[in-house]
Amino acid sequence: MPPPGPEGSAGARPVAAARFDEVIESPDRLRALFPPVHERAAVKVIDHIDPICRRYIAASPFVLIATRGADGRLDISPKGDPAGFVQVLDAHTLAIPDRPGNNRLDSFGNLLAHPEIALLFLIPGNGDSLRVSGTARLVRDARLQAQMATNGREPALILIVQVEEACTHCPKCMVRSGLWSPGRWPDLGDVPTLAEALSAHVALATRQDGPETPPRPPGEEGGSPP
């Protein structure tokens, strides 16, 4: 077992018991804290993509993809394109085109180790969402790649999802968060830009990987010396 680490890290579990009043560790204790699940919610999961699910997917321009890496850590990656970019090939198969990104290939690399996958489809302005889970493979297929091209550019890979479960998710979280209500959106004045975050985090990674570069003498910060 790894040593205790920062909050939220894989090594934080031993610290939790000492820090909090109670750590829930059994299904019985978990269930005792909540009312019984509503009958309709208990049986809402289906094992395929039906016409209802197809309509959600056709209207969705944004999907979150959850995968698990070889080290066991979970990862969530967003994918977006015009609504309907995820294609339903049949009742048990979805196709998601790859689009240009940062080339880290986090999700793709994870799927080579563990094929399990989960998807959350969101539709702007709509409170309901669609959850899908199953297994996935990375494929290349000339016909499908040509069919899923955008702006004349074919995807390098297509993510094929073999659907095992699908269900709709109620809008309570959307209502509480005001996600689709512009009047309730937070002030972005103190939200860091991507450039700011990258600068800080790359600098942190550089310090962790090796000794810091010694500061330059005055007059040598850049360009020609005076």
Specify the pairing of strand 74-80 against strand 87-90: unpaired
Q: Given pLDDT bands bounded at 50, 70 and 90, which one contains residue 210?
A: low
Provide the pLDDT for residue 211: 55
d(CA 205, CA 210): 9
For residue 108, is pLDDT > 80?
yes
For residue 122, is pLDDT > 50?
yes
Provide the pLDDT for residue 13: 58
For the segment 163-170, the average pLDDT, to the nearest whole number, is: 96
Lowest-pLDDT range, 36-40, 103-107, 221-225? 221-225
Query: By the 8 A CB rule, do 110 and 70 touch?
Result: yes
For residue 90, is pLDDT > 90?
yes
Of the CA atoms within 13 Å of residue 226, those in its CB half-sphere come to 4
Query: By the 8 A CB rule, do 98 and 155 touch?
Result: yes
| Contacts of 158 by beta carbon, 8 Å cutoff, 6+ apart | 95, 96, 97, 98, 138, 139, 140, 141, 144, 145, 148
Q: Could you give the percent of the chain with pLDDT greater than 70? A: 85
Provide the pLDDT for residue 224: 37
Provide the pLDDT for residue 181: 95
For residue 138, is pLDDT > 90?
yes
Query: By the 8 A CB rule, do 75 and 108 touch?
Result: no
Q: What are the CA-CA distances from residue 58 to residues 68, 109, 176, 190 (Å)? A: 26, 27, 26, 35
Residues 193-205 pLDDT 10s: 999 999 999 998 8
Torsion of CA 87, 178, 173, 75, to 10 degrees: 60
In order of their start, the domains of the chain are 45-176 (2.30.110.10)
Specify the pairing of strand 87-90 against strand 158-169: unpaired
Provide the pLDDT for residue 141: 97
Q: Given pLDDT bands bounded at 50, 70 and 90, which one contains residue 209?
A: low
Asked whether the CA dihedral 135, 140, 142, 148 is positive or negative, the reply is: positive
Pick the residue with more confidence: 89 or 216? Answer: 89
Torsion of CA 194, 200, 202, 207, to 10 degrees: -170
For residue 4, is pLDDT > 60?
no
Of the CA atoms within 13 Å of residue 70, those in its CB half-sphere come to 5
Residues 7-49 pLDDT 10s: 444 455 566 778 899 999 999 999 999 999 988 888 899 999 9
Rounded to two decimals, what is the model's pTM? 0.82
